[in-house]
Structure 1
């Protein structure tokens, strides 16, 4: 069976566990001034649409789309479960986020990620999808660790 994408599910124990893993990893691999990860409770904000990816009921990954105004969205909290790496989970989640952004009529999507080796797979995913380097946006400060990207819809 293929990967299915679901909205919501923030309160499910497996989702909470994967998000806790995500937050811990971001704090472990990012300097404090460049760590902008959202805790699970912040993902419940009305401006954020949360997605989960599953196969046969098993959680494979998560991601979110935040409305940042002026027909723009931001990709947030992308994380593939360790047991599901290299199975197309990130691409499936990103495809769902892109489809939602298009359905909302957004002009562009933005994201902020890291530049270190721990972010190589994420950066490769965004590069393949057509995201390009951009400057800082929102309240994010520039810095040598941080990579800002944009996707024109």
Structure 2
């Protein structure tokens, strides 16, 4: 089956379930105080765009772009369900986020991910993200890994 990728409202039961699955997974890897989740309500706020990948109508992955200023955006809520990992879906979602950030005129993308997410690191690094120190208002923590990607000079 073909994977479709569209922007959607996160305020759907199926997307709530996908995000809950993501949250549950992240809590197995990091202490709760170092899991910086956006709720689906926060994902639905102006300035946030959510992409959902579907196969045969079933939501299998997601990712979001949160605009902090007219210069800086943040990659959030990247997740691919286990049965669909390794098929390049996360890379496609991230590509849409980067393309939209460029179209929107953002100069930089940043993100925080966990210290036990090597598959995510590989996707980000292949997309040109570089490790850096803490970004935005995230605390410096042994549980976090930070990345940035310069989009414009």
TM-score > 0.5 by shorter chain: yes
For the pair 1:132 / 2:100, whether they are aligned, the reply is no
Moved over 4 A (4+): none
Aligned to 2:22: 22
Partner SS for 2:68: strand
Matched, 1:142 2:140: yes
How far is 1:122 from its partner? Answer: 0.7
The answer to whether the 8 A contact 1:26-1:37 is kept is no
Q: Measure the CA separation in 1 of the matches of 2:27 and 2:72.
A: 27
CA–CA separation in structure 1 for the residues paired with 2:115 and 2:65: 21
In the alignment, which residue of structure 1 is the partner of 2:81?
Answer: 81
In the superposition, the TM-score normalised over structure 1's length comes to 0.92
- Where in structure 2 are there 5+ consecutive unaligned residues? none
Instruction: Give 1:51 deviation, angstroms.
Output: 0.8
- What does 1:26-65 align with in structure 2 at a 5 Å threshold? 26-65=26-65
- Deviation of the 1:28 alpha carbon: 2.2
Unaligned runs of 5+ in 1: none
**Which segment is superposed worse, 68-77 or 9-18?**
9-18
RMSD of aligned C-alpha atoms? 1.4
Q: TM-score scaled to structure 2, two decimals?
A: 0.92
Matched, 1:7 2:22: no
